[in-house]
Amino acid sequence: MRRLSLPKFARYQLLVHLAALIPLAWLIFDAARGNLGANPIQAVEQRTGKYALILMAASLACTPLNTVTGWRSVLRWRRPLGLYAFVYAALHFLTFLGLDYGFDVGLIWLDVAGKRFILVGAAALAILVALAFTSTGAAMKRMGRRWKQLHRWVYAAGGLVIIHYAWAVKADIRGPLAWGALIAALLALRLPPVRRWFARQRVRRRLQGR
Amino acid sequence: MAKTDIPGIPSSEITPEHVYINRRQFMLGLGGLAAAAALAACAAPSSPAPAVGSVATLAPTAGKSTDELGDRLTTYEDVTTYNNYYEFGTDKSDPARQAKNFRTAPWTVQVGGLVNKPATFGVEDLIRLFPPEERIYRLRCVEAWSMVIPWQGFQLNKLLAAVEPTGAAKYVRFETLNDPEQMPGQRNDWYEWPYVEGLRLDEALHDLTLLATGVYGKPALPQNGAPLRLVVPWKYGFKSIKSIVKIDLVAEQPSSLWMVAAPDEYGFYANVNPDVNHPRWSQASERRIGETARRRTLPFNGYAEQVAGLYAGMDLAKFY
């Protein structure tokens, strides 16, 4: 029996995979039950986009969470969460190309030319593709310092996604503003002075605890 | 309760269809006459002469399942559950839920401004004065989805003729009820409530311009703009203001809620036009609710024959 119980680390990983796949299962369930409303294609588009944004923010929250709490295992969630963000973004894009436009290149061209929010979204996805394909340990080793530089682009992708979201809504941009503020805050928590301050606080707390 | 004041049985169910159709053709003819008379009476000399198009091509559709282009009606279910009505929430499914207890009776609409005979009408008076007829219209939302809806209503020009616009009247301004108690969306101060829309007088007098009281032969539900809403089928859906309490004839072009909220994105005219993009998205194609493939958007939503004349000589990219 002992051999069946997973190591603690693996159990956390399993939890991340389950949490990230539940929205997809829920979406498929709703689609199968006809619960997606009068405009199901738009519903799939909007939901996959929203899940991609949530997972991206979750992935970006790992490092700051570690900075603030000192909790180490949270750092292991970064990669799977980021990859799932990419998966949902890719589904979002495929829904747009296939379900929405039926891969009709003429029609897509007509609309992309006039829809700047699509161009911005596509740019964000291009970044996520690059990050996903360099997410392996081998790529990390091969790229060395350049890996870190490349993966900082995730914040550019975050900014583009917020613009994409804000340009897609009609006038009330409180939703995009709230998500933008969250991503900006997560970025601020990564700035070296902020990080050092939190690290000192942790050391102080530990010393006082003794 | 008093909702039953609104006739609930489509006349097509009572009258044999051929008689019904003849009667309605006769009435459409009358409507055209009324509009012409109203135009002669009150159109400003400077405004372009509107081409009162052949509404006859849109006529008798009672009992049919398609519009005059052969497009299938959108299901009643979709028409009543997928709504843009921000007073009841910004999600399409919000209005059906949040407007459930909206009081649509008693209801009066105040018609005034630059008119000789200002008056306040109960909705039941309007229905008595101007018996509703069925019109199957395409509705094209600025968000690039569309529906085909059988409305019951009467031509706005009949009501306007009754109040006699003065020569100074150039535009018509419409206002929705302002009641944040009943309309939770109005507590969202991102927008300047109440909802306001406007039409140029000749647009308002056009035979296609309808004040609707019913949908699918039934009294309209609150999410569809009950008890009285505008339907201007060649313009984007947001022009067709819902739950109207006030109609004013005015001299200056009114500013609509959307023009105030995003002036560079929403113009006064808002005619459906595949060649003029919204600044942030294309209007070249649309999804008909209930269909999978997109379809190309038609100029003036397929009503160009009837209404293009209203805009002769105008740069529609400038007056979007």
Say if residue B269's pLDDT is above 50: yes
A137: left (phi over 0), alpha (psi -120 to 50) or beta: alpha
A102 interface with B at CB cutoff 8 Å: yes
pLDDT single digits (tens) B126-168:
999 999 999 999 999 999 999 999 999 999 999 999 999 999 9
- Tens of pLDDT, residue by residue over B173-218, are 999 999 999 999 999 888 999 999 999 999 999 999 999 999 999 9
Q: How far is B32 from chain A (nearest CA, A)?
A: 36
Question: Which backbone phi and psi does B173 adopt, to 5 degrees?
Answer: -115, 135
Q: How far apart are CA B66 and CA B136, in angstroms?
A: 8
Calculate what percentage of chain A has a pLDDT beyond 70: 94
Q: What is the 3-state secondary structure (H, E, C) of B204-225?
A: HCCCCCEEEEEECCEECCHHHC
Distance CA B213, CA B220 (A): 6
Question: In the predicted model, what is the mean pLDDT of residues B257-276?
Answer: 93
Q: Give me the count of residues in chain B.
A: 320
Q: Which domains does chain B have, with CATH numbers?
A: 2-311 (3.90.420.10)
pLDDT at B6 over 60: no
Return the closest-CA partner of residue A39 out of B311, B132, B92: B92
**pLDDT greater than 80 at residue A74:** yes
Distances (CA, A) of A23 to A59, A72, A87, B297: 16, 26, 12, 34
Give the pLDDT score at B62. 53
Whether the per-residue pLDDT at A19 is higher than 90: the answer is yes
* Stretch (H or E) spanning A52: helix A40-69
pLDDT at B28: 44
Q: Which residues 129-188 on chain A approach chain B with CB closer than 8 angstroms? A: 167-168, 170-172, 174
Boundaries of every domain in chain A:
2-197
Give the pLDDT score at A4.
58
Determine, for residues B284 and A172 on separate chains, whether the beta-carbon distance falls below 8 Å.
Answer: no
Q: Under an 8 A CB cutoff, do A111 and B281 touch?
A: yes
In a 13 Å sphere around the CA of A41, the CA atoms on its Cβ side amount to: 21
Q: Is A57 on the interface with B (CB under 8 A)?
A: no
Confidence at residue B281, expressed as pLDDT on a 0 to 100 scale: 80
Contacts of A107 in chain B (CB under 8 A): 284-285, 294
Lowest mean pLDDT among A198-207, B67-76, B176-185, B297-306: A198-207
- Is the Cβ pair B191, A172 closer than 8 Å? yes
The pLDDT mean for chain B works out to 85
Task: Using DSSP bridges, classify how beta strands B285-288 and B295-296 pair: parallel, antiparallel or unpaired.
Answer: antiparallel
Distance CA B236, CA B232 (A): 8
What sign does the dihedral A41-A42-A46-A49 (CA atoms) show? positive
Average pLDDT over residues B39-51: 41
Q: Name the pLDDT band for B39 (thresholds 50, 70, 90).
A: very low
Q: What is the helix (H) or strand (E) element at residue A75, kind and residue range?
A: none
Assembly ipTM: 0.80
Q: Which chain A residues have a beta carbon less than 8 Å from that of B285? A: 107, 110-111
- C-beta of residue A117 within 8 angstroms of C-beta of residue A161: no
pLDDT of residue A5: 63
pLDDT band at A82 (very low <50, low <70, confident <90, very high): very high
Instruction: List all residues 6 or more positions away from B14 whose beta carbon is below 8 Å from its beta carbon.
Output: none
How far from A108 is each of A100, B80, B272, B276, B286, CA to CA, in Å?
10, 30, 20, 16, 12
Place of tokens 């301050």: A197
Please report, rounded to a whole number, the percentage of residues in chain A having pLDDT higher than 90.
69
* pLDDT, chain A, mean: 90
Q: What is the 3-state secondary structure (H, E, C) of A121-142?
A: HHHHHHHHHHHHHCCCHHHHHH
B285: nearest CB among A111, A117, A168: A111
Q: How many angstroms separate the CA of residue B293 from the nearest CA in chain A? A: 7
Tell me if chain B has a CB within 8 Å of the CB of A38.
yes
Q: What angle do CA B108, B112, B117 make, to 5 degrees?
A: 100
Does the structure show a pLDDT above 70 at B266? yes
Quick: pLDDT tens for B111-125. Answer: 999 999 999 999 999
